[in-house]
Amino acid sequence: MNNILVVVDGAQSVPHMKVDVKELDVDFLAFSAHKMCGPTGVGVLYGKYDLLKKMKPLIVGGGMNGNFDSDGEVLYHEPPHFYEAGTPNIAGVIGFGKVIEYLNKIGMDNIHSYELELKKYAISKLKQLDNIILYNESSKSGIITFNYKGIFSQDLAIYLNKYKVCVRAGNHCAKMLKNEINIKNTCRMSLYFYNTKEEIDILIELLSNPNIKDEIL
């Protein structure tokens, strides 16, 4: 109604659940391979064809033009080739295709349901710890955002990393996070299909360490 284009960053959702661009009716959807167990430097930009036809590429070069003359007249290919100037990342694209096949073979619904099962298990364990603050208990994803009372998130992440448990700490590229939960930095555990309940138990044991503050500080 207001001619507003909807661009969705699907990097954190496409690897974890079914995403139907027709059902969502989004104008553009972007996601990356490395978030899907694939190679770096490769991604996908989906766009409605009529919008792709109206856009202009940022880079021009071989592969996107069908013909050009010395007078400067150029005949360009139709999208998507119109946006593929130069030699593409062939190996990366082939690898990306294989990892998509791999995830589809596992089943995106299976991946999503398993992540939620792991999250439910982890939340139940974390809530038994007095010093843990949970920020997104009810979110429908395998991500758990938390803090330990009295310990800076980056310090906690370094402590866990020492024992081979990897979490991310900071604002997670979400600069408006502090406006939503009134705190800028948190720890984030991101569960995926390759994680297990046994790994969660290791995390809980580390967070249950009665000397954790002395060890960190």
Active site residues: 173
How many CB atoms sit inside 10 A of residue 55's CB? 12
| CA distance linking residue 119 with residue 133, whole number of Å | 15
Q: What is the DSSP string of 52-94?
A: HHH---S---TTSEEEE-TTS-EEEPPTTGGG--S---HHHHH
Q: Residues 149, 133, 110, CA angle at the centre, nearest 5°? A: 140
Copy the structure tokens of residue 192: 């995926």
Whether the CA torsion 20, 4, 84, 29 is positive or negative: it is negative
Tracing tokens 């190996």 back to the chain, one arrives at 91
Contact 26, 7 (CB under 8 A): yes
Tell me which residue of 64, 104, 97 sits closest to 80, measured CA to CA.
Answer: 64
Which residues make Cβ contacts (< 8 Å) with residue 6, sequence separation at least 6?
A: 25, 26, 27, 28
Copy the structure tokens of residue 158: 């370094």
